[in-house]
Structure 1
Amino acid sequence: MHMKCEGRDDGELRVGDSSAALWLDCQAGIAGDMLVAALLDAAPDRAEAEAVVTAALESLHVEGFDIAVTRVVKAGLSCLDFNVILDEAHENHDHDMEYLHGHAHAAHGACEHALHEHEHEHEHEHEHEHAHAHAHAHEHIHRGLAEVEAIIAAARVTPRARTLASRAFGILAAAEAEAHGVAIDQVHFHEVGAVDSIADILAASVLIDYLGIGRVCVPVLVEGHGTVRCQHGVIPVPVPATLNICAAHGLPLAPCEVEGELVTPTGAALVAALDPAFDLPARYTVRAVGLGAGKRTYSRPSVLRAVLIEEERGSGLQTSVDSEGVWTRAAELEAPTRIVKLECDIDDATSEQMAYAASELARAGAREVHWLPIFSKKGRPAYQLQVLCQSSEVPALESIIFAETPTLGIRRIECERTVLARERATVQTPFGPVTVKRATLPDGTKRVKPEYEDCAALARTCGVPLHEVVEAAILSAR
């Protein structure tokens, strides 16, 4: 069943403002399909939310999959299931318990499969299937990061959704590159970058934008133990890519009794891309709850809760309503007062190497990357690389610096800084939605700054000069 999504004439989908907060309760882990299902279930108008997702996925230049959205039962709870149904050429065995755990678990796997079928009995709500399959008897396609980013760039989605999806795949690629000991441009996705992960990541990104989610809280990722099978063989849980993502982005893990993988690399990459807080507000009001079902069956029911909340005044992270509309206070999350500066002097790298290194550092989460012209020993012209980051990001960024530049050492300087309180909202302009930041100066005056990427994307889409989009965003914000 195909659903149409109401869109603007310029081809971008409509979204709400970024005033909502999201709490992801990951007591049974997280995977891409679980997140999509939970967000769909939490949507005030689920039919419209499904239509938005369907329109986005139908715009993908990717073959070999259908979409089904159904209600299922997990541990007696009614949950939503988002299923990317792959054709035979693209199947990756991600939900095959016997494949994942090997023949030693065959009897156990068969038992679990029977339980899986019982738990996925449909309630009276009808099933939605969205055909997107073009069945071909070809071998499984391995795509590099550039190919995946090109697919995302061509999708009919908002700039914010596109940026989030691209960020998630960049995080995933960096983690896989580290796990396999190769450069990021040599990573070829198969297990985690198969068709279903492209669909899951784009669908989740679209829903985050559609629901107007501005803040995300993930107190902990609960993970199992043991081993699982992948295309390269049997590997330990947490799998290397998931561990690398958690290490690079400071995501908290908590082990549990489950033998198996609860946190997938795709799920971890989406969490990292959302740049979550790890503490819930002291007080909040629950606006909606969504339950997303996982496909794997373990001793702990595979359910992710997505809770849309509104922080109450005085609870730490707040939203404020004034004459300009709804603004999300972001000073505590986006402007830490303690940062780390990494720096090194380089006089024997090409301009291409330097540009690529800066790009990879930014992709991996660096807050700022600077190249400063200097004179080094013996009066030679050289450059100093400066990278600003949080302490949790230091190991991953140092690894990139050593891998992508010829430096033999990196200076690490801890810095204190004074930051302005800042707020963020998505404002509507004649060209489309633009994310805007507003800073409050010590004297109480306010300064508005539209996000460049949003403005640039709209300027290209609408065929107007960039400054017209920027001026319209500032006018709307004020």
Structure 2
Amino acid sequence: MNKKNKKILYFECFSGISGDMTVASLLDLGADEGKLRGALDSLGMEDEFDIRIGRTKKCGIDACTFDVMLKEQQDDGHVHNEDIPHHSHAQNEDGLHHGYVHSGDVAHHSHAYSEDGAYHGHVHNEDGPHHSHAHNEDGLHHGHAHHGRNIQDVYEIIDRLEGQENVKERARSMFRVVAEAESRAHGIPVEEVHFHEVGAVDSIVDIISTAVCLEDIGADEIVFSELYEGSGHVKCRHGVLPVPVPAVLNIVQEHKLLLHRLDVQGEMVTPTGAAIAAASATSQKLPGNCRILRTGTGAGKKDFDHANILRTMLMEAEAEEPGGTLVVLEANMDDCTGEALGYTMEQLLGAGARDVWYVPAYMKKNRPAYILNVLTEEGKREEMESLIFKHTTTIGIRRHEVLRTAMQRRYGKVETRFGEAEVKACMFGGRTEYYPEYESIRKLCEASGAGFQEVFSETVKAAEAASGGTESGEKDIEWMERMGQ
């Protein structure tokens, strides 16, 4: 049976991650720019933004750029430098991270908080001020007033998107992660979190663009490296915040993302970037061996001593043989009842463990004991460990990787004179062996009154006859693979 090689999309976040870096990197990787522009056009927001896609160099490395240019800022009478992208991650020469680019001395940070804790730039409580542009020292708002968009308003924009439903759902999931993080940061319900009308446009475009590009790349698995984050503080309109900012911390904590701190002054992971990683990752680990098919490089707006880029790699991993690499969990128990051990085995198998078994042992003071063994995938390890701690008396679990050679397996049904029986075909080295499923044989025995061995052997013969013998296993049975064996 031929196995399909798996395409894996890997995000190398050694300089953090933001929405614009993600889109730029995916475009450079090969995502269709025409499809992206068509999808954004379908949102009906042409009066609010344009996008600009270009090239730049970071520490001599060529990289793609993706900028959201807010039309209101271009038309509102403010002075802009044409060489500076009008984007939520733009900076001025002093290195501060500003929400919008303006002339003057007032720095408006995209994650700015006032002294009373109100969030200025993206998120507002309904009772809070809605700031779209810079304020002077008297606190007056200079520019146009706007209402805020809550999460439902954002969902309605996403629903306008022309395309597959899974693209919309991916975008909703990313925005939901951001909204939940802001809700927790400000101590208000998710429904009351308001994204400022101008500030939210950047995030909406970045997130929808990411969803469209991910769909176009079409990877089977998506893996993110640890998120490299800077240190120090970010200067805001009314004060100073530590890096990572609260929303990023909430996302990292809630979704168990790996964070790697660097001795680099400044913010490298934005809430949008963290949300993309939290909502998109399908695995935490790359296969041991894979081929790199294509690479993409997206540039960030800041300049550091290192190249401020997000690199993506489209990889191909050869389909694993049925055995592959698995994890064995072990726990010694000399004070756990037989009932608890039996129940634990049922729970582990029900949760998808490949196998569970007990080995008798003697522990300290010659106490009779059992060693619990669980065979599982690395991706299910934490769930299995949680079940073991929950249902047994152990206080520690050992683990190690094992390599397993296993026969390929297919499952089907055959007709016997006792009735329909389920059977498993196991193939290796050009030979096929047939093993009837126990529960199926048991039911036929109870219904017919026949002996177990009689029904079992009859089922094997029926499977061999229907399949044309033991060499092919292909003829008349409609076989199917069953994952997780």
Structure 2 length normalisation: TM-score?
Answer: 0.53
**Match runs of 1:159-238 below 5 Å:** 159-190=165-196, 194-230=200-236, 233-238=239-244
Q: For residues 161 and 212 of structure 1, do their structure 2 counterparts lie closer, same or farther at Cα, with a shift above 3 Å needed? A: same
Q: 1:299: Cα distance to partner?
A: 2.5
- Summarize deviations over 1:381-437 as a string: whole Å, max 9, x none: xxxxxxxxx77xx9xxxxxxxxxxxxxxxxx99479xxxxxxxxxxxxxxxxxxxxx
Q: 1:184: Cα distance to partner?
A: 0.5
Q: 1:157: Cα distance to partner?
A: 2.3
Is 1:77 aligned to 2:61, yes or no? yes
- Summarize deviations over 1:332-371 as a string: whole Å, max 9, x none: xxx7759xxxxxxxxxxxxxxxxxxxxxxxxxxxxxxxxx
Structure 1 length normalisation: TM-score?
Answer: 0.54
Correspondent of 2:27 among 33, 40, 57:
40
Name structure 2 gaps, 5 residues minimum: 75-85, 99-104, 106-142, 325-350, 355-381, 393-409, 413-421, 426-480
Are the counterparts in 1 of residues 291 and 315 from structure 2 also a CA contact under 8 Å?
yes
Residue identity in the other structure for 1:20: K
Are the counterparts in 2 of residues 67 and 85 from structure 1 also a CA contact under 8 Å?
yes
Correspondent of 2:36 among 35, 50, 53:
53
SS in 2 for 1:299: coil
Identity rate of aligned residues, in percent?
37
Correspondent of 2:301 among 289, 295, 302:
295
- Summarize deviations over 1:431-451 as a string: whole Å, max 9, x none: xxxxxxxx9899659xxxxxx
Question: In the aligned structure 2, how far is the partner of 1:26 from the partner of 1:158?
Answer: 28
Correspondent of 2:89 among 87, 94, 109:
94
Bigger RCO (CA 8 Å, 6+ sep): 1
Name structure 1 gaps, 5 residues minimum: 1-16, 104-109, 111-136, 319-334, 339-389, 395-411, 417-438, 446-476
SS in 2 for 1:27: coil
Residue identity in the other structure for 2:253: A
Q: For residues 231 and 197 of structure 1, do their structure 2 counterparts lie closer, same or farther at Cα, with a shift above 3 Å needed? A: farther
**Match runs of 1:354-365 below 5 Å:** none
Which of the two has greater helix per residue? 1
User: Number of paired residues?
Assistant: 288
Are the counterparts in 1 of residues 64 and 297 from structure 2 also a CA contact under 8 Å?
yes
Q: For residues 415 and 274 of structure 1, do their structure 2 counterparts lie closer, same or farther at Cα, with a shift above 3 Å needed? A: farther
Q: 1:21: Cα distance to partner?
A: 1.2
SS in 2 for 1:84: strand
**Match runs of 1:49-448 below 5 Å:** 49-62=32-45, 63-89=47-73, 94-97=89-92, 101=96, 138-190=144-196, 194-230=200-236, 233-314=239-320, 414=390
SS in 2 for 1:295: coil
SS in 2 for 1:269: helix
Q: 1:99: Cα distance to partner?
A: 7.8
Question: In the aligned structure 1, how far is the partner of 2:201 from the partner of 2:35?
Answer: 19
Are the counterparts in 2 of residues 260 and 298 from structure 1 also a CA contact under 8 Å?
no
Q: For residues 93 and 159 of structure 1, do their structure 2 counterparts lie closer, same or farther at Cα, with a shift above 3 Å needed? A: closer
Question: In the aligned structure 2, how far is the partner of 1:308 from the partner of 1:193?
Answer: 32
- Summarize deviations over 1:152-182 as a string: whole Å, max 9, x none: 0111121111110000001110000001111
SS in 2 for 1:297: coil
Residue identity in the other structure for 2:42: S
Q: 1:192: Cα distance to partner?
A: 10
Are the counterparts in 1 of residues 227 and 258 from structure 2 also a CA contact under 8 Å?
yes
Question: In the aligned structure 2, how far is the partner of 1:228 from the partner of 1:141?
Answer: 27
Is 1:24 aligned to 2:11, yes or no? yes
Question: In the aligned structure 2, how far is the partner of 1:313 from the partner of 1:189?
Answer: 44
Question: In the aligned structure 1, how far is the partner of 2:411 from the partner of 2:238?
Answer: 52
- Summarize deviations over 1:195-221 as a string: whole Å, max 9, x none: 111111001100111111221111211
SS in 2 for 1:78: strand
SS in 2 for 1:152: helix
Q: 1:85: Cα distance to partner?
A: 1.3
Question: In the aligned structure 2, how far is the partner of 1:67 from the partner of 1:180?
Answer: 31
Are the counterparts in 2 of residues 41 and 289 from structure 1 also a CA contact under 8 Å?
yes
- Summarize deviations over 1:273-311 as a string: whole Å, max 9, x none: 113422221000111000001112223221001100011
SS in 2 for 1:194: helix
Residue identity in the other structure for 1:96: Q
> Radius of gyration: which is bigger?
2
Question: In the aligned structure 1, how far is the partner of 2:94 from the partner of 2:72?
Answer: 16
Q: 1:96: Cα distance to partner?
A: 2.0
Question: In the aligned structure 1, how far is the partner of 2:222 from the partner of 2:293?
Answer: 14
Corresponding position of 1:371? none
Question: In the aligned structure 2, how far is the partner of 1:242 from the partner of 1:440?
Answer: 46
Are the counterparts in 1 of residues 6 and 318 from structure 2 also a CA contact under 8 Å?
no
SS in 2 for 1:38: helix
Residue identity in the other structure for 2:58: K
- Summarize deviations over 1:29-49 as a string: whole Å, max 9, x none: 111111111111111xx6xx0
Are the counterparts in 2 of residues 92 and 191 from structure 1 also a CA contact under 8 Å?
no
Are the counterparts in 2 of residues 149 and 166 from structure 1 also a CA contact under 8 Å?
yes
Are the counterparts in 2 of residues 97 and 296 from structure 1 also a CA contact under 8 Å?
no
Question: In the aligned structure 1, how far is the partner of 2:285 from the partner of 2:318?
Answer: 14
Corresponding position of 2:334? none
CA RMSD of aligned residues (A): 3.8
Question: In the aligned structure 1, how far is the partner of 2:198 from the partner of 2:243?
Answer: 15
SS in 2 for 1:241: helix
SS in 1 for 2:153: helix
Corresponding position of 1:322? none
- Summarize deviations over 1:229-277 as a string: whole Å, max 9, x none: 4567432111111111111111000011211111110000011111342
Question: In the aligned structure 2, how far is the partner of 1:283 from the partner of 1:235?
Answer: 42
Question: In the aligned structure 2, how far is the partner of 1:257 from the partner of 1:246?
Answer: 19
Are the counterparts in 2 of residues 18 and 214 from structure 1 also a CA contact under 8 Å?
no
Are the counterparts in 1 of residues 10 and 315 from structure 2 also a CA contact under 8 Å?
yes
